[in-house]
Amino acid sequence: MLSVSGLSKTFPGVRALDGVDFTARAGEVHALIGENGAGKSTLIKVLTGVYEPDAGDLTYDGSPVRFATPLEAQHAGISTIYQEVNLVPLMSVARNLFLGREPRGRLGLIDFGRMHREAEEALRGLGVRVDVRRPLRELGLGAQQMVALARAVSVDARVVVMDEPTSSLEPREVQTLFGVIRMLRERGIAVIYVSHRLDELYEVCDAVTVLRDGKVVHTGALAELDRLRLVALMLGREIQDVQEEGLTQFTGAHEATTEPVLQAEELTARHRLHGVSVTIRPGEVVGLGGLLGSGRSETAKAIAGALPTDSGTVAIGGTRIRTGSTPAAIRAGISLLPEDRKAEGIVPGLSVRDNIALAALPRLSRLGLVNERSIDEVVDTFIDRLHIKASSPLQKVGELSGGNQQKVLLARWLAMHPKVLLLDEPTRGIDIGAKAEVQALVDELAADGLGVLLISSDMEELIEGSDRVIVLKDGTAVAELTGTAVTEENLLRAMAADPAEPGA
């Protein structure tokens, strides 16, 4: 259906794609995998007319093509969900769904009634119930991703491209997405699927192409490759090494001392949190479990002063701090890695170095003088440990691949030397090699006495990474699991439980 040969694309200082051959067949779900910065998004952007290739040929449905713009590709029947949600946050959900192809009445005016009805229907089909008249930005990231999905499948496409479609989705939504993908496959549509979650690939993909440093290192049927070989290919390492090191670096079970480093009591915020309490001791990693909208991110934000609370208290090392104030929280030693990094963190126009040093600057300065050398040291350490792929520390963050941008933000908050670290989906979009390194870092910090609150939709990460998990539902803590009780089964049961039920 869609194929390329000899495709190359160079950015200043990087060969993002180097002689790539790739074929997506009708009725096939094709996984595209590789480390952060391997060239996946670039390949997709060349396929869909966002970038012009330096060399190479595109064939679509048997004839040579070249798309000058994404719109051209879309009109030709290639529908894309890009890694960065590229919808319009201020416009309504319905408008976003129909952008550029709004149903119109006789006078050429948008038929809002019909648009709203059809939007509602399309989303209901995906199990999403929202007021489609509301601005898109009022939805959580996961729901926004579902809107992008609804948009992509509601057009009459022959190729559907998905760049990390599940990064913000809950298990239930992921299953909905897979249902949609299977339906597309049955209709003979070619699906190209990018994800760092390997379990997902095996659940839904037929073929796989592995990219490393802009080159195709393997392509073939997925069923013929086991997980270990896949990871080895991706990282360019020997299978045996991967096997010995394991894929997750969490060692779990930290020696927690008695005095809590964080004590948040009865946090309440209208409609969102109803008396949530969290206690973390130095050296402990406490997980927050729950479905989308259960109040996990809100809890982290309330602790970090980024969500106004109606009542409740936060204390660090036994000292109460002012709630609802981010500066007060930061001064007290609380760092929050937010869920929506695009909106709440990354400064695309600044360099990798400045983005990392941004928050730690006061600590790295003496008497108002910035110590450039110590900044360079900190920056170099994190670039090295997190494998941040950049042409130099001075490269603009906006030019990095999605996963590498995430790593830069993570580095910023780690460089603060906080007492309490709140991590909202810390490894989302991060490849499996770097993920292990992030987990190892968190483990190390915990062993050093830092208290960590971990939010993750990745069950495996939550279970292996947490000493204890508090499960939230509808803004209320419904269960707390400790030690060996932290299992997938128990978590799922608690997440689905009715908070009104006694003993849930």
Ligand X SMILES: Nc1ncnc2c1ncn2[C@@H]1O[C@H](COP(=O)(O)OP(=O)(O)OP(=O)(O)O)[C@@H](O)[C@H]1O
**Rule CB under 5 A: which residues touch Mg ion?**
40-41, 83, 401-402
Q: Closer to ligand X by CB, 425 or 431: give it.
A: 431
To ligand X, the closest distance from the beta carbon of 430 in angstroms equals: 8
Q: Closer to ligand X by CB, 299 or 406: give it.
A: 406
Q: CA-CA distance, 330 to 347, in Å (whole number)?
A: 19
Tell me, what amino acid is at 37?
G
Q: Closer to ligand X by CB, 133 or 212: give it.
A: 212
Task: Output the CA torsion sign for 154, 159, 160, 163.
Answer: negative
8-state DSSP, 500: T
Q: Closer to ligand X by CB, 284 or 339: give it.
A: 339
To ligand X, the closest distance from the beta carbon of 80 in angstroms equals: 13
To Mg ion, the closest distance from the beta carbon of 166 in angstroms equals: 14
* 222 contacts: CB under 8 Å, gap ≥ 6: 31, 201, 202, 205, 206, 207, 208
> Which partner from the list ligand X, Mg ion, none does 209 bind, CB cut-off 5 to 8 Å by kind?
none
> Which partner from the list Mg ion, ligand X, none does 11 bind, CB cut-off 5 to 8 Å by kind?
ligand X
Instruction: With beta carbons less than 8 A apart as the criterion, state whether 499 and 290 touch.
Output: no
To Mg ion, the closest distance from the beta carbon of 37 in angstroms equals: 8
DSSP of 207-251, one letter per residue?
Answer: EEEEEETTEEEEEEEGGGS-HHHHHHHHHT--HHHHHHH-S----
> Which partner from the list ligand X, Mg ion, none does 37 bind, CB cut-off 5 to 8 Å by kind?
ligand X
Q: Closer to ligand X by CB, 34 or 333: give it.
A: 34
Q: Closer to ligand X by CB, 45 or 296: give it.
A: 45
> Which partner from the list Mg ion, ligand X, none does 221 bind, CB cut-off 5 to 8 Å by kind?
none
Q: Closer to ligand X by CB, 307 or 409: give it.
A: 409
Residues β-bridged to residue 32: 194, 209
> Which partner from the list Mg ion, ligand X, none does 14 bind, CB cut-off 5 to 8 Å by kind?
ligand X
To ligand X, the closest distance from the beta carbon of 72 in angstroms equals: 20
Widest Cα–Cα separation across the chain:
72
> Which partner from the list Mg ion, ligand X, none does 399 bind, CB cut-off 5 to 8 Å by kind?
ligand X
Q: Which residue is nearest to ligand X (CB)?
A: 403
> Which partner from the list Mg ion, ligand X, none does 454 bind, CB cut-off 5 to 8 Å by kind?
none
To Mg ion, the closest distance from the beta carbon of 178 in angstroms equals: 21
Point out which residues bind ligand X (CB under 6 A).
11, 14, 16, 34, 36-42, 83, 389, 399-404, 431
Containing 109, the helix (H) or strand (E) segment is none
> Which partner from the list Mg ion, ligand X, none does 42 bind, CB cut-off 5 to 8 Å by kind?
ligand X
> Structure tokens of 267?
């946090």
Burial of 478 (0-12, 13-18, 19+ CB in 10 A): buried
Q: Closer to Mg ion by CB, 274 or 342: give it.
A: 342
- Mind spelling out the 3-state secondary structure of 15-63? EEEEEEEEEECCCCEEEEECCCCCCHHHHHHHHCCCCCCCEEEEEECCE
To Mg ion, the closest distance from the beta carbon of 390 in angstroms equals: 14
Q: CA-CA distance, 161 to 151, in Å (whole number)?
A: 12
Instruction: With beta carbons less than 8 A apart as the criterion, state whether 81 and 41 touch.
Output: no
CA distances from 130 to 126, 144, 150, 214 (A): 11, 11, 13, 40
To ligand X, the closest distance from the beta carbon of 59 in angstroms equals: 21
